[in-house]
Amino acid sequence: MDDTRIEALRAEIDEINHRLLRIIAERQAISLEIGSLKAGMGLPLYSHEREAQLLAKFRADALEFDLDPDYVEELMNVVLRHSRAAQRDRVEGQGASDPHGSPG
């Protein structure tokens, strides 16, 4: 019985993981569009102020969902870093860039 419950819970986690990836892909597409618009307007791709606001909101939201704010900040920093890299790649027309590079 416990094995069946574990498998059922794992199936739920698998579905959640799939939804998370779909949401990350949607976010990435929107981020790329923002990067293209910024480039077309001559604006910098990176805004320290915007990122600081996002990270503060992520930390506050973490508390709302009873999650460790440090964990959420670390997780979202990865998402933000890769979004910046994808924007740079799109705008600069380069191949894969280093996601650990400067924010742009």
Cα–Cα distance for residue pair 65/31, rounded to 1 Å:
25
Under DSSP, the state recorded for 41 is T
pTM: 0.81
The listed range with the strongest mean pLDDT (3-7, 89-93, 100-104) is 3-7
| Residue 27, CA atoms < 13 Å, CB-side half-sphere | 13
Assigned token pair, 68 = 């460790």
Q: What is the mean pLDDT of the chain?
A: 91
Count of domains in the chain?
Answer: 1
Is residue 74 a part of any domain in this protein?
yes
Is residue 81 a part of any domain in this protein?
yes
Parent domain of 48 = 2-92
The helices-and-strands tally (H runs, E runs) of the chain is 3, 0
Cα–Cα distance for residue pair 51/56, rounded to 1 Å:
9
The pLDDT value given to residue 1? 76
Output the CA angle 4-5-11, nearest 5 degrees: 90
Is residue 58 a part of any domain in this protein?
yes
Is residue 43 a part of any domain in this protein?
yes
Question: Around Cβ 102, how many Cβ atoms within 10 Å?
Answer: 8
